Structure 1
Amino acid sequence: MDFRLELIPLPVADVDRAKAFYADQLGFKVDLDFSPSDAFRVVQLTPPGSACSIAIGVGVVGTTPGAVQGLHLVVDDIHAARAELVGRGVDVAEVVDMSAPGKPAVSYAAFTDPDGNGWTLQKLPY
């Protein structure tokens, strides 16, 4: 039995601002922007190369905007990915390498969306 994680709802305060951040600055593909009423709007976006999408909107999730932390975007070249995002105006922290004795380093670079939801670029050692 497969259990595929394919959608993560993210709480945001301003849907249009968040949509612009994810689509224009991070380069996520806008899969859907649907609003049948003022009480409900869902925008689904997918990172390039990912099988998992995010959903932002109105009436999508009741969590406080900015409450989601620790989302990881795994990349092949963290320095190139960071430079690309910085070039698009994203405030990405410097790359930090972490390892345990005898283990290869895993690299991280953190950033947040306009509401404070926390993301991390991650480069695995494989």
Structure 2
Amino acid sequence: MDWKLEVVVVPVSDVDRAKRFYSEGLGCAVDVDERVTATMRVVQLTPPGSGCSVAIGEGMTDMAPGTMSGLQLCVGDIHAARAELVSRGVDVSPVHHYDTTTGELLDGPGEEWNRFLFFTDPDGNKWTVQESPHIKP
């Protein structure tokens, strides 16, 4: 039996602002934007090339907005990804890597699998982007 992670719910305070960030800033496709009930709205967005979507909305989670951490996207070219995010107005960190001895986060790219950048959505949910040698740029 396959178990596929297809949707991650991200808590936000302003659905329309978050929808603009994820669609315009990150380039996600808006798959669904539906008010299900008077107290529930579901907006589902999918990053380009991803098999997993992000869901934001009203009445979907008990998590406080801005409390998600450890959300991660993978790309084939970290520098191109950073340039794209910057061109879309996203406040993104420079490219970093982790010292494999100390675990300290250092400036510049490291070896394969050790190239990262970081950003937060408008509510402060924390995202990491990692370069994967298995993804074609």
Normalised by the shorter chain, which TM-score bucket?
over 0.9
Counterpart of 1:117 (choices 112, 122, 125) is 125
Q: In structure 1, what residue type is equivalent to 2:57?
A: G
How far apart are 1:72 and its partner, in Å?
A: 0.8
Which whole-Å CA distance do the structure 2 matches of 1:123 and 1:41 have between them? 33
Partner of 1:56: 56
Which whole-Å CA distance do the structure 2 matches of 1:53 and 1:31 have between them? 9
Structure 1 gap ranges (5+) = none
Partner of 1:97: 97
Q: How does 1:1-126 map to 2 (within 5 A)?
A: 1-98=1-98, 100=100, 104-105=111-112, 106-126=114-134
User: How many pairs does the alignment contain?
Assistant: 125
Which whole-Å CA distance do the structure 1 matches of 2:26 and 2:132 have between them? 20
| TM score, norm. by length of structure 1 | 0.93
Partner of 2:106: none
Return structure 1 stretches of 4+ with deviation > 6 angstroms: none
Which whole-Å CA distance do the structure 2 matches of 1:84 and 1:92 have between them? 10
Contact 2:9 2:61 in 1 (8 A): yes
| TM score, norm. by length of structure 2 | 0.86
Identity score, percent: 54
